[in-house]
Amino acid sequence: MSNKVLVYIDHFHGEVLPISWESLGVGRKLADELGGDVAVVIGGQDVKDAANQAFHYGADQVYYADDSSLVDYRPEPFASLVSQIAREDAPDVLLFPTTTRGRELAGMCAIDLNSGVLPDVTALEVQDGKLTATRPVYAGKLIATVVCDSTPQIITTRGRAFDKPELDASRTGEPTQVDAPLPADDIQTQVIEYSEEEGGVSLNDAAVIVSGGRGVSSNPNLTPPEDLDEKGAEIWRAQQGFKLVGDLATVLGAAVGASRAAVDAGYIPYDQQVGQTGRVVSPDLYIACGISGAIQHLAGMRTSKVIVAINKDPDAPIFKLARYGVVGDLFQILPPLTEAFRSRLDK
């Protein structure tokens, strides 16, 4: 074993995705365990800053390609770049973050380097000098222990499964520039245009859902506009409450759901209803705000991995199912909760 680790740093127009630093953190730990170095590879245009940052997060060596043909990610030149560096550097382990780009690059490099890829790994262990990885399979219903018996062992690390390393600005180095691997004319794809994602996350397949129930409309401290009648005022209050739900969802990249009570009362459209007569969802995280947890709502979300409940009523049935609960006023809890996540997630 060469004891070397090479890590691909994924970025968008020079802005490194935090998950890349997590992969680098994994690489650093592995290299330390194996008694070797960790190198990093970055491709793009104007990526010198990102290259320097890699040293702060633990890289011993940084290879970067800076070329107009690499301004936008395209699979072929990026795979060729990584594979080329990997052939020269001959690491034992080649790490990628599990992003749309990282995953396919890892697969392509496995072909180039005649090795094997282990995607979306949630844990890594060195046993008797051999690396074993853990990854979920069958849509997370089972856990597999997987190994690759050739080098480099190509692994993509799942987001948030590993800690982000500390930034040490005093840790610096000189990055090594390399040439773009392919002549621009040889590249078979072209990025035509790009637009930022508008609109919310859809309930289907959402990994995180924040839902509001009847309790969302009951903030006594809000004064509705005078021209509204009683029903209108109730809906207005509910909309203010759902705005808080929406703010938290935005910070978490989550979809917004609702209980039947909220939909029936007209606070929110039916296609966001979670429950027996709405949608059945199974996200990794379900945050229920002002939802009591009647059985027909639970039927729609009980298989969520982690359930969090915020409700004024300490006897609300949902607390029996919730991993974490807060007995309190969602109007008081949601805004600081949103802020707490905002700062922790660098948003």
If one asks whether residue 170 binds other proteins (CB under 8 A), the answer comes out as no
Would you call 36 helix, strand, or coil by DSSP? coil
| Segment (H or E) for 82 | helix 75-89
Cβ(312)–Cβ(327) below 8 Å: yes
CB burial of residue 210 (10 Å; 0-12, 13-18, 19+): buried
If one asks whether residue 186 binds other proteins (CB under 8 A), the answer comes out as no
Tokens of 34: 């194996």
Residue tagged 């690059």 (tokens): 105
If one asks whether residue 344 binds other proteins (CB under 8 A), the answer comes out as yes
Closest CB 22 distance from other proteins, rounded Å: 11
If one asks whether residue 336 binds other proteins (CB under 8 A), the answer comes out as yes
If one asks whether residue 192 binds other proteins (CB under 8 A), the answer comes out as yes
Cβ(42)–Cβ(129) below 8 Å: no
Tell me how far apart the alpha carbons of residues 164 and 337 are, in angstroms, rounded to a whole number.
21
Tokens of 215: 């309790």
| Segment (H or E) for 231 | helix 230-252
Which of 45, 52, 115, 239 is in the footprint of other proteins by CB under 8 A? 115
Which residues in the 70-99 window bind other proteins by CB under 8 A? 74-76, 79, 99
**Terminal-to-terminal C-alpha distance of the chain:** 40
**Cβ-based nearer residue to other proteins, 169 or 194:** 194
**Cβ-based nearer residue to other proteins, 1 or 146:** 146
If one asks whether residue 266 binds other proteins (CB under 8 A), the answer comes out as no
**Cβ-based nearer residue to other proteins, 12 or 184:** 12
Which segment (32-40, 53-61, 63-71, 294-302) binds other proteins by CB under 8 A?
294-302
Which of 128, 169, 185, 195 is in the footprint of other proteins by CB under 8 A? 195
Tokens of 162: 């590993």
Virtual CA dihedral for 331, 332, 335, 337, nearest 10 degrees? Answer: -120
**Cβ-based nearer residue to other proteins, 61 or 292:** 292
**Cβ-based nearer residue to other proteins, 55 or 106:** 106
Residue tagged 């790009």 (tokens): 194
Tokens of 283: 């996200």
If one asks whether residue 346 binds other proteins (CB under 8 A), the answer comes out as no
Which of 108, 206, 209, 216 is in the footprint of other proteins by CB under 8 A? 108
**How many CB atoms are closer than 10 A to CB 110?**
22
Site track for other proteins across 214-253, x = CB under 8 A: --------------------------------------x-
Number of chain positions touching other proteins (CB under 8 A) = 91
**Cβ-based nearer residue to other proteins, 12 or 168:** 12
Which residues in the 37-66 window bind other proteins by CB under 8 A? none
